[in-house]
């Protein structure tokens, strides 16, 4: 394997160890060249290892053993047109590092147009069992954003997620799909087949390539959606669950959160009101039409587009990466 492939393999393997998370992996690799990392793992004794203060001898020995299943997963990536970026790559999305700091996913697997990460994007979340009105609002919001040359980001669940991706692509826009599972499990859903265009789609995953969906993964993935987004829109949400988790993550990350309010909202969408009380902004209808009024949202997007992103001061291990790659 190449140095970059070796590095991604070791990162992924480490993340599967008990007690090893993104922050520890990022700290381990922060100031060390890729070639040095790989050589050190392959050739150094534990006591000589650069990573002896982060992992124990058993973990170090396990790291050096061949994981044939994981090797097979990495080999399959290329066969199905997938690739990856590590946090040390210049192609890694800096907005995730700025938002998540040391907790940023150390490796991202992807398929599609990686250049979409450089575009200004709006993140969406919402119910799998969205109402007809909620679906209409989602489709209209996506179309308005496409018409103004912005891209959309969402998960890959039924309901609001699929409406956003479908409307975006149908209107000749670009969209990013963030998976709550490994990228080798990805398949184009039937609803999207007729509008699919790999030049206008990026699919990314922060999980081991063959990892299956779990609710914990979905919650973890929400932070990545929020980090990649300039702002967030929540269409319909219960007071608990994945959509609410994404909305709360947006507020925690100080991202502007917008949520529609309309007559006869479904009983399950009580989360919208909860988030408004916590600081979300309402989306209402235009005075002269029934379309969602995104005036405030577009003002915020245009203001953000003019701002120069600043480096974080509270995530020291990642400052070097940002300075080198920003």
Spell out the domains of the chain, with CATH numbers in brackets. Answer: 3-111 (no CATH), 112-306 (3.40.50.450)
DSSP result, 151-187: EEEE---TTHHHHHHHHHHHTT--EEEE-SS-GGG--
**What value does the mean pLDDT take over residues 272-290?**
89
pLDDT over 80 at 321, yes or no: no
Provide the pLDDT for residue 17: 94
Provide the pLDDT for residue 152: 98
Residue 149, sorted as left (phi over 0), alpha (psi -120 to 50) or beta, turns out to be left
Provide the pLDDT for residue 223: 96
| pTM (2 d.p.) | 0.91
**CA separation for the pair 185, 213 (Å, rounded):** 9
Q: What is the pLDDT of residues 225-278, one digit of tens each?
A: 999 999 999 999 889 888 999 999 999 999 999 999 887 778 888 889 999 999
65 φ, ψ (degrees, to nearest 5) = -75, 150
Q: How confident is the model at residue 325 (pLDDT cuts 50, 70, 90)?
A: very low
Provide the pLDDT for residue 6: 94
């Amino acid at each position: 394997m190449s140095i970059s492939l070796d590095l991604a393999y070791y990162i992924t393997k480490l993340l599967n160890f008990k007690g090893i998370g993104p922050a520890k992996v990022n700290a381990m690799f922060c100031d060390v060249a890729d070639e040095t990392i790989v050589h050190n793992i392959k050739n150094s004794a534990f006591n000589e290892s650069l990573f002896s203060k982060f992992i124990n001898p058993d973990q170090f020995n396990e790291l050096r053993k061949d994981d044939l299943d994981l090797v097979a997963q990495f080999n399959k990536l290329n066969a199905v047109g997938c690739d990856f970026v590590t946090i040390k790559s210049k192609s890694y999305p800096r907005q995730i590092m700025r938002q998540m700091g040391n907790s940023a996913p150390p490796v991202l697997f992807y398929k599609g147009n990686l250049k979409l990460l450089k575009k200004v994007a709006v993140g969406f979340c919402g119910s799998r069992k969205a109402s007809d009105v909620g679906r209409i609002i989602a489709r209209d919001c996506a179309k308005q954003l496409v018409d103004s040359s912005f891209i959309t980001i969402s998960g890959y669940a039924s309901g609001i997620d699929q409406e956003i991706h479908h409307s975006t692509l149908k209107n000749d826009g670009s969209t990013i799909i963030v998976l709550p599972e490994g990228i080798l499990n990805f398949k184009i859903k039937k609803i999207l087949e007729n509008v699919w265009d790999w030049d206008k789609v990026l699919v990314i995953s922060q999980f081991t390539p063959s990892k299956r969906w779990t609710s914990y993964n979905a919650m973890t993935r929400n932070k990545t959606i929020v980090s990649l987004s300039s702002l967030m829109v929540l269409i319909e949400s219960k007071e608990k669950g994945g959509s609410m988790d994404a909305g709360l993550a947006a507020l925690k990350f100080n991202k502007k959160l917008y949520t529609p309010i309309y007559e006869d909202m479904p009983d399950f969408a009580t989360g919208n009101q909860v988030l408004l009380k916590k600081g979300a902004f309402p989306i209402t209808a235009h005075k002269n039409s029934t379309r969602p009024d995104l005036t405030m949202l577009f003002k915020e997007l245009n203001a953000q587009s003019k701002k120069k992103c600043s480096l974080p001061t509270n995530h020291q291990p990642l400052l070097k990466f940002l300075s080198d790659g920003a």
